[in-house]
Amino acid sequence: MFDKILIANRGEIAVRVMRAAKELGIATVAVYSTADKDAMHVKLADESVCIGPPLASESYLYIPALIAACEITGADAVHPGYGFLSENARFAEVLQDHGIAFIGPKPEHIRIMGDKIEAKKTAKRLGIPCVPGSEGGINDDLEARRISGEIGYPVLVKAAAGGGGRGMKVARNEGELSAALSTARQEAKAAFGDDAVYLEKYLEKPRHIEIQVLGDGRGNAVHLGERDCSLQRRHQKIWEEGPSPALDVEERMKIGEVVAKAMRELHYLGVGTVEFLYENGEFYFIEMNTRIQVEHPVTEMITGIDLVNEQIKVAAGGVLPYKQSDIVFHGHAIECRVNAEHPVSFRPSPGRITYYHPPGGLGVRVDSAVYQGYTIPPHYDSLMGKLIVHGRTRTECLMRLRRALDEFVVDGIDTTLPLFRTLVRTKDILDGAYDIHWLEEFLADGGMDGKDST
C-alpha cells in the first residue's frame, strides 16, 4: 500500500480523496494555488504545498510543480481526481518516470479513450454497441456528405478531442452540413488545439446512460450498474440518478456485462465510466471517462462500495476483491450538483458565503469543500458541492431529496438550489420522463419564471 498520496486537485474531490486515503491509513498531501490558500482541502491534509498562482495552467495543470511537490514531500503516489490532469496520459507517464504511482488507468488506455475516434474503434472491437457514423476523422465536405447520406440526417459533427459539448454541431440536412463542419472545426481548434472532427447519427430524444466499471489491470473487472445523467444543460450534467428510471433489470445486466467483459479483455485498471446514448431500447457508445466521475457517489450509495478506496487499492497492486455476483444493488440514489451559479442564467457567482447550512438526516450525504465565511474564487469550476440522497425506492428518494433541498441554505452567492427545488416538484421528473434535451426545453419554456432565485 502507498505511504503518502499527493492529491493533484482541489475542491470537493480533493476532500473526497483525502477521506478515502485517511481511512486506509495513508498520509495526504494537498497542493494549492495562491487563490486556494484558505481552501478546505488545504486545511484537512497532513501536508500542503503551494504550486503557483491562480491560473490553472501555472498551478494545477503545471506538471513540473506537481512533480516537485511529490519530491519535496516524499509522496509515492498521485491521485488526480477529475478534470485538470486526470485524463492526461503524459502526466501518468512522467509520474512513472519519476517512480511515482498514478492512481488511475494505464497511460495507453487514457490515450486511446481520450481520442473519440480511437475510442469508438476500440469499443467496436470489444463488442460495445456504437452510434452509426464515420469510421474516423472527416477529411473533406464531400466525404461528410457521402457518410451523412448513408446514415441519414440529422447528423452530429463532433470534435475528436472534444468534451463538455464544445466542438459539437447538428446538421439536419445537407444544406446545414458544410456550416456545421466549419464551425465545429473552428471550435475544436480553439478549445483543444486539434480540428479533427467525425460524424455520428444524431438521436432526437435519447437518454444519457453511463456504466460504472472497476478493474484491477489483471483481467478482472466488474460493472456496478448504471447512472442516468440525462438532465443536462449545454451538455453539462446537473442531476444524476441510479438506477435509471428508463431501464429494467434485464437491460441493466445485459449492457453491464457487455461493458465488464470489454474491460476484462482490455485489462483495464482502476475506475472508469462507459457512456451511452439510449433510445428505443438500444444503447450507443459515445465515450469512456478514464477517471473517477463527479457523480460516483450515486453508485456508492446503491452498492455500498467506496469507489475511491477501491481505486487506490488496485492502483497499489491489489487484486479486485469482487466477482460480478458479489455486486448487489440497494434502493435508489440521486445527486444534485450544487453550483455557484444563477439558477436560470447559469451565470457564475463567485464570492463569499455568508451563511452555510447543509442538510442532514438518514440517507443524506453532502460532498463539499465550502464552509461559512469561505470565498469561492472566480478562477475555477463553479461546482461548490453535491447533494446525494438515498431511499429504498425512487419515490422515497425523491421525497427525501425534496426535504433535504428545503433544509439546504447558502447565502451570499447565487446557487442552483432553487432550480432543484423546482425540478423535484415537476411531474416529468417525478415520473422519470425526461431526456437529454428536456431541461433546456423546460427552461426555454419558462419553467423557472417567477421562481425565487435565492
Active site residues: 291
Q: What are 214's three cell numbers?
A: 472497476
Report the C-alpha gap between 32 and 35 in whole angstroms: 8
| C-beta atoms surrounding 184 within 10 Å | 26
The stretches of 277-375 forming alpha helices (DSSP H) are: 296-303, 307-315
**DSSP one-letter string for 129-162:** -B-SB-SS---SHHHHHHHHHHH-SSEEEEEEEE
Q: What is the DSSP letter of 332?
A: E
Q: 28 near 22, Cβ under 8 Å?
A: yes
CA neighbor of 350 nearest in space, from 377, 332, 326: 377
Coil vs helix vs strand at 315? helix
Q: What is the DSSP letter of 57?
A: G
Report the C-alpha gap between 278 and 210 in whole angstroms: 10
The stretches of 152-226 forming alpha helices (DSSP H) are: 174-192
Report the C-alpha gap between 373 and 243 in whole angstroms: 37
Report the C-alpha gap between 166 and 162 in whole angstroms: 6
- 243 preceded by a cis bond (ω within 30 of 0): yes
Report in angstroms the alpha-carbon separations of 331 from 72, 244, 248.
45, 12, 14
C-alpha count within 13 angstroms, C-beta hemisphere, residue 380: 25
Q: 216 near 319, Cβ under 8 Å?
A: yes
Q: H or E segment at 282?
A: strand 282-289
Q: H or E segment at 5?
A: strand 4-7
Spatial CB neighbours of 13, under 8 Å, sequence gap ≥ 6? 81, 82, 83, 292, 294
At residue 400, φ and ψ (nearest 5 deg) are -65, -40
Identify each DSSP E strand in 311-408 by its residue range. Answer: 332-339, 351-352, 355-357, 364-368, 375-376, 383-391
Q: What are 201's three cell numbers?
A: 447519427
Report the C-alpha gap between 346 and 231 in whole angstroms: 15
